[in-house]
Amino acid sequence: MLENKVALVTGSTSGIGLGIAQALASAGCDVVLNGFGDADEIGRLRQALSEEHGVRVLYSGADMSRPAEIAEMIRQATTELGHVDILVNNAGVQHTAPVEEFPAEKWDWVLSINLSGPFHAISAVLPQMRARNWGRIVNIASTHGFVGSVHKSAYVAAKHGLIGLTKVVALETATTGVTCNAVCPGWVLTPLVQKQIDALQSRDGLTPEAAKHRLLAEKQPSLDFVTPAQIGAAVAFLASDAAAQIRGAALPVDGAWLAQ
């Protein structure tokens, strides 16, 4: 479906980003992986993805909080794979604290990776997408792009901002073959969420299963986690020709979190 396309997925060494990289590779894309982790483990991931799907897989360790490294990653991907057709801004981090205790450096850190990183990546990749008159930009926002939750001021602000950025890029590219959309996951069981389950478990003396249930019951009516593969499938759909007129949308994949 997406053969001969090159997809760059930020934060794809783990969790949702890895699910997206797998979905795009299985649709035929060459893939650029990005994110942190053990070098051997990342090497194995690269090889497995490449062998399973018969695609080229590149890795960049660019830090999404550093604009110069983002520009270098796009340059490297373009040089080594020829072009970048699909950009998925997925890398994201969380820090929780009441707003009056929220450390300023944590605010800057969350904003730099979750919001400024996508801006820098979009501005670096858009010229070549415009030149070919084809491109797909998908920003992984969150249900927290629409609603708040206590103790997540930086994350919620960044995700609301990311949906705003998505709309503006969609408008500026509206008459071209480039589209820009957001996907808004509810709870997905990844390392980012496991940390919050662990905190709930030790705070309230719960079993792991009870802590998971409480986390879901507070927000997600389906009482079931979304999977990285389901987010990957949503991104692959937005990258397809069928989605060419879906522009500036923010698609919830959230077990009815936002229906309440």
Site residues (vs ligand NAD, CB under 6 A): 10-17, 34-37, 63-65, 90-93, 113, 140, 142, 185, 187-188, 190-193
For 178, the 3-state DSSP assignment is strand
89: left (phi over 0), alpha (psi -120 to 50) or beta: beta
- With respect to ligand NAD, which residue has the nearer C-beta, 134 or 237? 237
Closest distance to ligand NAD from the beta carbon of 54 (Å): 24
Closest distance to ligand NAD from the beta carbon of 150 (Å): 16
Closest distance to ligand NAD from the beta carbon of 210 (Å): 18
Tokens at residue 36, please? Answer: 């942190």
Please spell the DSSP secondary structure of 66-101, one letter per residue: -HHHHHHHHHHHHHHHS---EEEE---------GGG
Closest distance to ligand NAD from the beta carbon of 101 (Å): 21
- Strand arrangement, sheet containing 6-9: 57-60, 30-34, 6-9, 86-89, 135-140, 178-185, 250-253
- With respect to ligand NAD, which residue has the nearer C-beta, 113 or 122? 113
- With respect to ligand NAD, which residue has the nearer C-beta, 36 or 80? 36
Report how far residue 254's alpha carbon sits from residue 260's, in angstroms, rounded to the nearest whole number: 11
Is residue 59 annotated as a catalytic residue, yes or no? no
- With respect to ligand NAD, which residue has the nearer C-beta, 72 or 130? 72
Report how far residue 8's alpha carbon sits from residue 37's, in angstroms, rounded to the nearest whole number: 17
Q: Which entry of 90, 138, 153, 155 is annotated as an active-site residue?
A: 155
User: 């206590």: which residue's tokens?
Assistant: 150
Return the active site residues.
155
